[in-house]
Structure 1
Amino acid sequence: MINPKDFGIQGLSEQEVLAARETHGKNTLDYKKQHKFINALKDILQEPMVLLLSVASGIYFLTGNIGDGIFLASAIVLVASISFYQESKSKNALEKLKNITQPKAKVIRDGEIKEVQTHDLVLGDCIMVEEGTIIPADGVIIHSNDFSVNESLLTGESMAVFKDIQSKKNQCYTGTTVASGLAIATVTAIGNATALGKIGKSLENIQNEKTTLEIQIASFVNKMSIAGGITFLLVWGINYYNTLNVLDSLLKALTLAMSILPEEIPVAFTTFMALGSWRLMKLGIVVKQIKTVESLGSATVICVDKTGTITQNKMSLVKLYLFKTDETVAVPEKPNALEQELIDAAIWSSEPIPFDAMEVSLHEAYARTTNSDERKGYSLTHEYPLGGKPPMMTHIFENQEGELIIAAKGAPEAFLPISNLKEVEKAKIRKAITVLGDQGYRLLGVGIAKFKGTDYPETQQEFLFDFLGLVAFYDPPKKNISTVLKEFDRAGITVKLITGDTATTASAIAKEVHFIGYEKGMTGAELMQLDDKQLQEKVKHIQVFSRMFPDAKLRIINALKANNEVVAMIGDGVNDGPALKAAHFGIAMGTKGTEIAKEAASLILVDDDLSKMIDSIAMGRKIYSNLKKAIQYIISIHIPIILTVFIPLALGWAFPNIFSPTHVILLELIMGPTCSIIYENEPLEKNTMLQKPRLLTDTFFKLKELLTSIIQGLAITVGTLAIYQYGIHTDYSEDTTRTMVFLVLIIANIGLTLVNRSFYYSILTTLKYKNNLVPLIIGITVLITAALLFIPPFTRFFQFSTLTILQVLGAILTGLISVLWYELVKWNQRNKKNPML
């Protein structure tokens, strides 16, 4: 690559950078300050469970039950602490995500091109911006090639504006996007002083839309809360009717309200999404919207580019086709006159400061083979940007003597109608294109033109070119790509190749990597001739799409979506923006992806490794599956608490108020960590990636799954109420009966935790799953329970009693039977299905 010093651009020294940063600060937009701790505290204090505990604690103090009041007040602190911990854990994960997604900028310092975080830019820096990047600071252009900018963010005008050092519009602005070319600009404003910074207040109040799953969960929680409110009033009324004591009746009604409120569900959702995104980040996958991470597992089709996705994006100039002699040669170390002429024309048709991989390769080949480097002696005087169908580009250089070099490169087919060629010569060129394309090479045609004067034609196609030949590049496939493609197939996901390459090149590479359906192809031109219905049918069977352009890519995405496919689109360039936005999941490459592609995408593969998509899909399926397990657990375990509180009261049993608020909150504190800590940390089940993707339109709770949770909850209820009745009929005291019922619930909670780790595999299989939190949380639960039963102060405070061995064994056996019966259901399922799963 050309050194910026060749253009007289030195940039700031490190000392000058430090001085400028000390004087003017960082390049960041600073608006209203967020008081994170105060906001988090306000959110916690508004939680329904905290409000219920506060009311119950107040009633205990009013009625003279100081011990119970202190316990519930302590519980408020504990619940708030747990909530604050979960919130901070989620926010820390998000902060790490935010840091890794910070955009970077190319800057010239000490005469060298460096990459820095955009917030490290200072006044006076020389920034280099190129096609597809977002301009990181306001600046004045000091060098440009074919440079145009989309300034719609500031002006509302969608048309790109061409800018250069000589025009009146020689400024570029923060947040605008480079539509074409390259420019070097001196930074004139940063942070709040930029044009965007001055209008940035409007960005503060943008609200994020809720996802389908979030809406479904919120709806479920609201329904549970409404049911809880109605039951709360009912229980308050029954108790008041029986006792005529307002505060005591309210306390007993609050007990039930606490048992019904599913406050763990929103906490579990937030925790799963944030930690899932953080885990993906550690794998090299950045999820820009954490709420959508669970839906990644529903992708049915992935559309991939060839360069940098299937291949290594290491473009090397490897062969030359010489038109005059009709021969193809490897790039020689010491080229002859014809070979050097073709290489020379190829670099003159390129940008003076190359940023495209193929142009970089051409400049390197020129520097390696030429005897006299003439690049310093010529300056770019006119250029025609990449355009036309097929596309091409032309550059015009001039030296001090006024000698012109007019060179063009582009799709080989672009030269056939604008070169002085006979039909037999065109056939010769087409044959060379086919032969080299079949070998998987990326091809560019190269030509030169002669012209006198400076009244250049309006379009480059108006020049009459002398066709010199073809330059062939090879970009080898990634070593793991065949394995990755097999993994997608095993997961029930179809992969479609969408590339700008010729059909022969695309097919050759696809065949080399064992791409399923490599022989079924279509070009962009063929695609555009189909109507929407025809295209919807074609995309079901065509796997390789070549010579694609933005409109064609967009039509493919829309046709797949019309076929009810869930589409993930991988792209890296400006032209991929529309398709990335249209896809359900836009995926940008972190290394070679343009800022525009990253902006349009919802996911970024940091190191451009397609195998990470397998990881992200697996993570999406795991998060969805584990979240579902957690919420099914919450539903199942809440049912016996609710019914154990409500049924004795409603039916007028001997001990109508077996549990008080202190008992319910104790159960909540013991059971709460299970759903959001244990289940979030569960590994991927071995059959998860062998299943077909779920439909994105599927509701979170299917009737069968909801029914399973309800039946599990009712089964535990049968166990608790059976022990309850056993205690009454055996003339046990209320404290002894309460203790046995409480123990049944704790044992059932432990058993349910283990049973519901899989709704297919047996508990003996899931015990082998690696989840260090399972023994830890269960161990803590057992220790707390033992303390309540065998340490007298705790036993007395909670109105428990010390049980005999037989009573303990009876409660444990009842608790286990109330949940382990589901193992028979799973055993029956496994016998019906393929045992290999």
Structure 2
Amino acid sequence: MSPPALPEADTPGDVTLRPAPDVADDLNVAPEHGLTSAEAATRLVSYGPNDLQGAPPVPWWRKFLRQFQDPLVYLLLVAVAISLAAWILEGAVGVPVDVVVILAILLLNAVIGYAQLRKADTAVAALASMTAARSTVLRDGRQSVVPSSELVPGDILLLAEGDAVGADARLLTATALQVQESSLTGESSAVTKQAGPLPSPMPLGDRTNMVFKGTGVATGVGRAVVTSTGMDTQMGAIAHMLATTEQEDSPLTHEIALVSRMLGVVVVSIAVVVMVALVLVNGVRTGAGFVDVLLLGVSLAVAAVPEGLPAILSVVLAIGVQQLARQRAVVKELHAVETLGSASVIGSDKTGTLTRNEMTIQKVVTASGTVDLTGTGYAPVGEALVEGRLLTEGPQLSEARALLVQGSLSSNAQLTETDGDWTVQGDPTEGAFLVAVRKLEGGTQRMDAYRRIAEVPFTSERRMMSTLQAHPERTRLMTKGAPDVLLAHCDSYRVGEEVRPLDQGVLDHVLAEVEALSSQAYRTLGVAYRDVPAREVSTDLDHAIEHHLVYVGMVAIIDPPREEARTAIAEAHRAGIRTIMITGDHPSTAARIGADLGIIEEGGRALTGVQLDELSDEGFRQAAREVSVYARVAPEHKLRIIDALQADDRIVAMTGDGVNDAPALKSADIGIAMGITGTEVTKDAAKMILADDNFATIVQAVRQGRVIFANIKKFLRYLLSSNMGEVFTVFLGVVLAGVIGLQSPVGGGLALPLLATQILWINLVTDSAPALAMGIDPQTDDVMGQPPRNPAERIIDHRMWLGIILVGAAMGLSTLATIDMFLPGGLLPGQHSFQEAQTAGFTTLVFAQLFNAINSRSETSSAFHRLFVNPWLWGAIGVVVVLQVLVVQVPLLQTAFSTAPLTLTQWATCVAMGSVVLWFDELRKIVLRALDVRRSAGAGASPAATPATPAPRG
């Protein structure tokens, strides 16, 4: 079957002006059945994926060539050209070793940089697949959820509150449907939709019988047939105008670029000083001598500036984000990890996040009394008991059965069983009714007699939901909602099969029962109904029909707290992170759960939305500082709480699942959407998605975010101090050449502590693998025993800079001391040749940097603390050692790098001198720990116990 012809993109009126069934016919689809899976697959091949085309992908070879687009690389290429010219002018005798070695190192460096880029790109692509939007469709006559990229023309979309619209589609039905189209039209108000044809062609913002890709359902439900996908959609037309998307650098990326530029200026200045000193001290007069000086200076600049930092940073962040995803926290943007470690407040919903979200009806309260239902979870196994006895036929069973049947029918949830495992698709509270009704005799049979006609959907403002149900004997409106809200729409109540007027005494009694159950941490939902005369029956309902209802009773639902949430909250408090709970539940329920979880003290209170509205602006800010449990709040309250906390310089992580939570998640520093119960609109607004809707996962993500940030500091400390070691070695080697006996070798040439090729070799083998290994280092210090990081604080602070300089100096001095030990003359007279001394210094510096890799895993903890927890680091060190042995001992590489073979004793000497860096840093850390203890004692608290201070938002 060939795919149907689509309407022309420039004639949208063809779709909007015609009846919806005709549009479905044109697309060869039955609205009540949808496409078959086979037909959908065929159309996907014909029309292509439902994706917007961005900038064309960059070919691999261009990405590879970009590794050479660096000013420092240009400097090296200039040096290669000069060296090659000098070799030609001197007769082109032999092989230009320096040229070959430098070019080989440049090529290897480009290969490593390209491999790192590929790894980061792969991780980002995997992350994109985790956060891909999904759509609910009707296929093969069944409701199913598919990736939005697989939507095809003719698919029947099932739309509900919070869904992201996956493609342009013509509405077939619409019930109280409103769609937020600001992303497309710029209009902030949601657009009310209807299914009928339009009288004439309309501009985009007025096509009320269409829904468009990239918009979100604000309220209501509907069905629509997909008419356009991919670049044929209205969003695709906009995408045509966007060839590229420029992304702002994160603060961390900006700071690292600033550090690199600053180092570049400093090191180039030092390199110039070194070159001038070499020329003056050695009396350089020949072209070859000038070439050697130039090569050394350029190589020093290239080696000392960590130009690979951005690539390593991207890889480390990408790996960290993948680790978070494996822990069920999907971070949508790599650099959002930076903010995680700074979070000082976590605001959370209650249901499903702090509790198990396995809603269970335990009590059914009607006019005749209370029925206890046994069993927990979604398996419909249990009994109905009254005072311990099995409930039998009579008025109380009639009331309980009517309540559960009507509560189940006033729902959109589905209860399914697969291999003995019962699950609820849809709202867990609605699912609890489906479970409970199966525990009463005759419940499901009575449900089967009804057929739904229409629905008035639930909204957070109304806190009610109704369905109109057809029965062979009647048409009945069935409503459920918060009891206090529902009772305002009732004027009678049911006793057995009898309906009686609802007087104030009965009303007060019901509200007292609500209060009593709520104080026991139960959530209560009431059920009411009325029989609707034929003249009022319609498929297009609104809330005006919800009047003169008959109150049946209420259920008490329990959702027990998660044990792991209590542990996670305690861990968050230890880390200086305040936890607040924001829920729509009753204040007593919220306070009880808050106390059980350790958010507030036993007997603490919850502040309600009504009470918040009564506060002045200053009173509201004060409440945000002090109150940790909020109940009966609307989405706008959540937004105000976030704003108040941020105004108080707090870094706020906030959870949400409903479409009305989207503004709050966007406003929060870290918006966190629920992966199971969250709407597509909420997921789109969030920076992080919880795959398991579990609060403990948030705290685990904060921990991992802190570990990732600590690892970034580790490899920065390592790279910068190691590069400073190279700078100190060459600079001090030139300045102190006479002191250490560094004189021109026999046969002429310059007296250099290291050659240009040796510096580039060190830069190649020690900068990449160990730094990357430290980027995935397991937790070394107790990251959750420290207060949140101040985002305005420099990643490389004064203490870290001082450590970098001191360690670099120790590395340079130990290298020069080794050279002095091997050379005749100087402070430590030796008996070896200049080439052996230079090789020993070269090798010592390599080992010093490897010892520095072990040092750099913590600013203050001993290098021997958790020494062997990172096998990748030890593997990287092993590889570098093997490569260094080859460079020193293999004749071909000796020629390339001007090295001499070393004896076993000489190797041991190099290792011992390289380890000086380790022992020096151990002493430095002892001093730092002593200073920290003294500072903590002066403050009257240990660092772990010190409350987090507000972090300026910079």
Alignment TM-score, normalising by the size of structure 2 = 0.81
Structure-2 change in CA distance of 1:748 and 1:558 (3 Å): same
Aligned sequence identity (%): 28
1:506 partnered with 2:529? no
**In the alignment, which residue of structure 1 is the partner of 2:463?**
391
Structure-2 change in CA distance of 1:780 and 1:8 (3 Å): closer
Structure-2 change in CA distance of 1:771 and 1:387 (3 Å): closer
Q: Which amino acid aligns with 2:188?
A: S
**In the alignment, which residue of structure 2 is the partner of 1:74?**
104
1:597 partnered with 2:682? yes
How far apart are the structure 2 equivalents of 1:358 and 1:167?
A: 37
Please report how far the alpha carbon of residue 417 of structure 1 lies from its aligned counterpart in structure 2 after TM superposition. 4.2
How far apart are the structure 1 equivalents of 2:412 and 2:905?
A: 87
Structure-2 change in CA distance of 1:146 and 1:797 (3 Å): same
After superposition, what is the alpha-carbon deviation per residue over 1:241-300, rounded to whole angstroms, capped at 9, x for unaligned? 753546454323313322332213223212211111122122222111101213312212
Which stretch shows the higher mean deviation, 511-520 or 171-180? 511-520
Please report how far the alpha carbon of residue 809 of structure 1 lies from its aligned counterpart in structure 2 after TM superposition. 4.3
Please report how far the alpha carbon of residue 661 of structure 1 lies from its aligned counterpart in structure 2 after TM superposition. 2.0
Structure-2 change in CA distance of 1:836 and 1:650 (3 Å): closer
What is the DSSP-based 3-state SS (H/G/I as helix, E as strand, rest coil) of the residue aligned with 1:307? Answer: coil
After superposition, what is the alpha-carbon deviation per residue over 1:785-815, rounded to whole angstroms, capped at 9, x for unaligned? 2223333333343222334566544443332
What is the DSSP-based 3-state SS (H/G/I as helix, E as strand, rest coil) of the residue aligned with 1:539? Answer: helix
1:760 to 857, 860, 863: 860
> 8 Å contact 1:135–1:174 — kept in the other structure?
yes
**In the alignment, which residue of structure 1 is the partner of 2:297?**
253
**In the alignment, which residue of structure 2 is the partner of 1:409?**
480
Please report how far the alpha carbon of residue 660 of structure 1 lies from its aligned counterpart in structure 2 after TM superposition. 2.7
**In the alignment, which residue of structure 1 is the partner of 2:721?**
636
Please report how far the alpha carbon of residue 352 of structure 1 lies from its aligned counterpart in structure 2 after TM superposition. 9.7
Q: Which amino acid aligns with 2:922?
A: E
**In the alignment, which residue of structure 2 is the partner of 1:550?**
635
Calculate the aligned-residue CA RMSD, in Å.
3.1
Number of aligned residue pairs: give it. Answer: 826
Please report how far the alpha carbon of residue 577 of structure 1 lies from its aligned counterpart in structure 2 after TM superposition. 1.1
What is the DSSP-based 3-state SS (H/G/I as helix, E as strand, rest coil) of the residue aligned with 1:221? Answer: helix
Structure-2 change in CA distance of 1:761 and 1:238 (3 Å): closer
**In the alignment, which residue of structure 2 is the partner of 1:745?**
845
Please report how far the alpha carbon of residue 405 of structure 1 lies from its aligned counterpart in structure 2 after TM superposition. 2.9
Structure-2 change in CA distance of 1:399 and 1:818 (3 Å): closer
Q: Which amino acid aligns with 2:882?
A: L
2:873 to 757, 764, 774: 774
How far apart are the structure 1 equivalents of 2:411 and 2:915?
A: 75
After superposition, what is the alpha-carbon deviation per residue over 1:572-614, rounded to whole angstroms, capped at 9, x for unaligned? 1112112211111111111111111111111111122322223
Correspondence 1:328-727 to 2 at 5 A: 330=373, 332=384, 336-347=397-408, 349-350=410-411, 355-362=426-433, 369-373=443-447, 376-377=450-451, 379-380=453-454, 383=456, 386=459, 388=461, 391-396=463-468, 404-420=475-491, 421-449=502-530, 453-454=535-536, 460=544, 463-517=547-601, 519-649=604-734, 653=738, 654-655=743-744, 656-726=751-821, 727=823
How far apart are the structure 2 equivalents of 1:80 and 1:439?
A: 65
Please report how far the alpha carbon of residue 53 of structure 1 lies from its aligned counterpart in structure 2 after TM superposition. 3.2
How far apart are the structure 2 equivalents of 1:81 and 1:480?
A: 45
What is the DSSP-based 3-state SS (H/G/I as helix, E as strand, rest coil) of the residue aligned with 1:40? Answer: helix
**In the alignment, which residue of structure 1 is the partner of 2:77?**
54
> 8 Å contact 1:12–1:124 — kept in the other structure?
yes
1:178 partnered with 2:222? no
- What residue ranges of structure 2 are gaps of 5+ in the alignment? 1-29, 88-94, 199-207, 374-382, 385-390, 415-424, 492-501, 745-750, 937-941, 945-954
After superposition, what is the alpha-carbon deviation per residue over 1:347-381, rounded to whole angstroms, capped at 9, x for unaligned? 5654599943333443565676154446655522x
> 8 Å contact 1:437–1:502 — kept in the other structure?
yes
2:248 to 209, 218, 227: 209
Considering fraction of residues, name the structure with more helix: 1
Structure-2 change in CA distance of 1:370 and 1:629 (3 Å): closer
Which stretch shows the higher mean deviation, 119-128 or 356-365? 356-365
Q: Which amino acid aligns with 2:123?
A: A
1:814 to 903, 907, 913: 913
Correspondence 1:80-95 to 2 at 5 A: 80-95=110-125
What is the DSSP-based 3-state SS (H/G/I as helix, E as strand, rest coil) of the residue aligned with 2:607? Answer: strand
1:799 to 881, 891, 898: 898
How far apart are the structure 2 equivalents of 1:34 and 1:358?
A: 46
How far apart are the structure 2 equivalents of 1:586 and 1:750?
A: 40
After superposition, what is the alpha-carbon deviation per residue over 1:134-180, rounded to whole angstroms, capped at 9, x for unaligned? 01122222344332211122222222222243464332211110111
> 8 Å contact 2:785–2:943 — kept in the other structure?
no
How far apart are the structure 2 equivalents of 1:536 and 1:667?
A: 56
> 8 Å contact 1:50–1:80 — kept in the other structure?
no
Which stretch shows the higher mean deviation, 458-467 or 559-568? 458-467
Structure-2 change in CA distance of 1:707 and 1:378 (3 Å): closer
What is the DSSP-based 3-state SS (H/G/I as helix, E as strand, rest coil) of the residue aligned with 1:309? Answer: coil
2:313 to 266, 269, 274: 269
Structure-2 change in CA distance of 1:526 and 1:684 (3 Å): same
Structure-2 change in CA distance of 1:461 and 1:553 (3 Å): farther
After superposition, what is the alpha-carbon deviation per residue over 1:103-146, rounded to whole angstroms, capped at 9, x for unaligned? 22222222222222122222222222211110112222234433
How far apart are the structure 2 equivalents of 1:818 and 1:686?
A: 21
Structure-2 change in CA distance of 1:458 and 1:71 (3 Å): closer
After superposition, what is the alpha-carbon deviation per residue over 1:279-332, rounded to whole angstroms, capped at 9, x for unaligned? 21222221111012133122121111111101222233443222x446555484
Structure-2 change in CA distance of 1:228 and 1:829 (3 Å): closer
How far apart are the structure 1 equivalents of 2:889 and 2:104?
A: 22
After superposition, what is the alpha-carbon deviation per residue over 1:741-763, rounded to whole angstroms, capped at 9, x for unaligned? 21221221122112222333323
Structure-2 change in CA distance of 1:789 and 1:397 (3 Å): closer
What is the DSSP-based 3-state SS (H/G/I as helix, E as strand, rest coil) of the residue aligned with 1:338? Answer: helix
Structure-2 change in CA distance of 1:800 and 1:439 (3 Å): same
How far apart are the structure 1 equivalents of 2:412 and 2:339?
A: 42
**In the alignment, which residue of structure 1 is the partner of 2:17?**
none
> 8 Å contact 1:449–1:466 — kept in the other structure?
yes
How far apart are the structure 2 equivalents of 1:364 and 1:145?
A: 27
Alignment TM-score, normalising by the size of structure 1 = 0.91
Structure-2 change in CA distance of 1:759 and 1:156 (3 Å): closer
Structure-2 change in CA distance of 1:658 and 1:827 (3 Å): closer
